Amino acid sequence: DLGIKDTVICSDGRIFKNINKTKKVKKLKKKLKREQRKMSRSIEYSKSKKIKLRELKNFNKKKLKVQKLFYRLNCIRDDYNNKMVDEITRAKLKYITIEDLKVSNMIKNKHLSKAIQEQNFYSIRTKLINKCKERNIELRLVDTFYPSSKTCSCCGSVKRNLKLNDRIYKCCNCGLEMDRDYNASINLEKAKVYKIIA
């Protein structure tokens, strides 16, 4: 199960934390914000004085700093995703099941859009496809509308009124209480309707 609080939650209990919540990445993001503000001020100044940007002193240096920080952040995230996918596929598994997430629809939520973009879900999926092909693991894709989070992994009853901020899944039928993402990962493992993509 892919998420924002934690990047990947496996049905065997393994949790891969969100790299964007680490001190190192937070510090880089703060630095990037600061450098972007400096660059933005230069652009505003050039507009007010009607000067071309290339004529502005040090603008290219500011631009290069921003580009370097973007590149560094992308490298850290990419490296983490590579290591995570490698660890998941290193175990001798028969199959791995993932959800078909519609990221374009998820991004419409203005409160979560930035966090979703930073997670690089599509990149994780692409890396998984490649590694599964390389290691002869069947990769299954479950439909977007499969209620993995809303279904009880113990009795199978579906909780229709589950909200996004409900982090603990509480079953009204059998009384099961567990982390909603872990519950979803167990349901994905048990899924009977899927499409094989690798």
- Supply the pLDDT for residue 155: 87
Tens digit of each residue's pLDDT (9 = 90 or more) over 45-85: 888 888 887 777 788 889 999 999 999 999 999 999 999 99
**Predicted pLDDT of residue 87:** 94
Specify the pTM: 0.85
Our CA angle for 77, 117, 133, nearest 5°, is 60
Least confident of 20-29, 134-143, 167-176, 186-195: 167-176
The average confidence (pLDDT) of the chain is 89
**Distance of CA 125 to CAs 59, 122, 128, 139, Å?**
38, 5, 5, 10
**Angstrom distances, CA of residue 133 to CA of 79, 87, 136, 138, 143:** 20, 15, 5, 8, 21
Percentage of residues in the chain with pLDDT exceeding 70?
A: 100
